[in-house]
Amino acid sequence: MATQAAPKASPECAGSNWAGEMRYVARQPILNLKGRVHGYELLFRSAPESAGGRDEVAAARTMLDNAVIFGLEWLTNGLPAFVSCTVESLTEQFVLVLAPRTTVLAIPANLELTPRLIDACRDLTGRGFRLALDDFNWKPEQTPLAEIADYIRVDFTRFGVAERQYLRRLHCPPIAMVARKVETQEQFQKACLEGFTLFQGDYFCHPVLLRKRKVPANWQLHFEIVRQLYHDPIDIRQVSRLVLRDASLTYRLLRLVNSPVYAIQQEVRSIDHAIIAVGEEAFRRIVNVAVLSELNSEEPPEILQMALMRARFCELASRLCELDPGEQYLLGMLSLLPAMLHLPMEELTPSLPLRSQICEALQGTVNPERRMLSWLESHERGDWVVCDRLAQVSGLSRDQFMRLYAESVGWAEASLRSGA
């Protein structure tokens, strides 16, 4: 059975080449007006003692260490990586270990803008790096950097009159305006009206929910297909009958099976043949991608990638924590259903053929089944303290969690490439 290729730069692929522990590192997507990923902000933390990620010098050094040992491309899939810099990393040019083409050097607002720092930034832009002014607020001394910056990132919860007026007065090449901490659709709409073109926050995972709406029949069909996939062995006749009831899903599924990644020697034209050709385990993965793509067809693609990554992470971690891998995969995969379907989770769970404990975990109840998902959600936010606590409760190390996270990111991206 052919398997999906792992991403080129994934730390998981490094295996024995790892030099020490992989520190906590998370990524947060930065989306454009169309909901496409423009780049990722990378959040680094050096060690548990730097609680909450406040040790900026240690975190910057960790970022540079990870860039040298593992590279950063495995986290961004070649898209721009926004990395927070210190005075030391800029003036001493330590950031030259990063790839200029795919790196945006973020300048925190609390740095003292000395002539030496400004000269260093000018030199780095000449070498191909892009600059982002972080947590921008109006200060006259910021003008030299604003004139060469490519991005200005603003905490949208604190975007005031002074910042708005100054940004309108800037006479320089076009600067991309990034609104950070955009958590709701209402904030997203306001940021658009203010002229922002890039957005960072959880708003795309929290769309306007439509209450008192029935789950459409085709979605219920998809849920039943996913449930059938986790019977061992798969009832081929039953799954085929269900898939064939949805023409769009059938087309997408056969397209995935016939993609180059599975290297099938002859064209697959039936669902039964597809299951036999690729094997049950691969078929489960293919159907999951197809079903999620259907459910997420009108939403930002990043939601689909996050759902797949969560599913894989929960599945892998469950094997170390005496949890059921199949259930954990479904828990991670279905955790973003409200963002896909615009329905509250409490109105979706009655339609899901899952144990009550898993449904409760989907609704946010703190229980053992939710532990892996909770760790991942905290990690996505860069809440390292909660990550530490959950790791300790689970009996796993930070290094184990990071290896699973790295593998899950690569697996999700490979899965989507196979169905592109």
pTM of the full structure: 0.80
Cα 62 from Cα 44, distance rounded (Å): 7
Residue 204's nearest CA partner among 183, 189, 224 is: 183
Cα 147 from Cα 145, distance rounded (Å): 5
Domain boundaries, the chain: 11-205, 217-418
Using DSSP, state whether 197 is helix, strand or coil: coil
Cα 145 from Cα 174, distance rounded (Å): 14
Q: Taking the domain 11-205, which CATH number applies? A: 3.20.20.450
- Are 155 and 135 in contact by the 8 Å Cβ rule? The answer is yes
Count how many residues are written for the chain: 420
The alpha carbon dihedral of 110, 204, 364, 285 has a sign of: negative
Q: For residue 31, report the phi and psi dihedrals to the nearest 5 degrees.
A: -105, 155
- Ramachandran assignment for 93, one of left (phi > 0), alpha (psi -120 to 50 degrees), beta (any other): left
Q: What is the pLDDT along the chain (420 residues), one digit of tens a residue?
A: 233 333 334 444 433 333 345 567 889 999 999 999 999 999 887 554 444 444 667 667 777 776 765 677 778 888 999 999 989 989 998 899 899 999 999 998 888 889 999 999 999 999 999 999 998 776 777 778 888 899 999 898 887 766 666 666 655 557 898 999 999 999 999 999 888 999 999 988 887 776 656 566 677 788 788 878 777 788 888 888 888 887 777 776 777 677 776 666 667 777 777 777 777 777 777 777 878 888 888 888 899 899 999 999 999 999 898 898 888 988 998 899 888 888 889 888 887 778 899 999 999 999 999 999 999 999 998 899 999 999 999 888 888 998 899 999 988 888 777 554
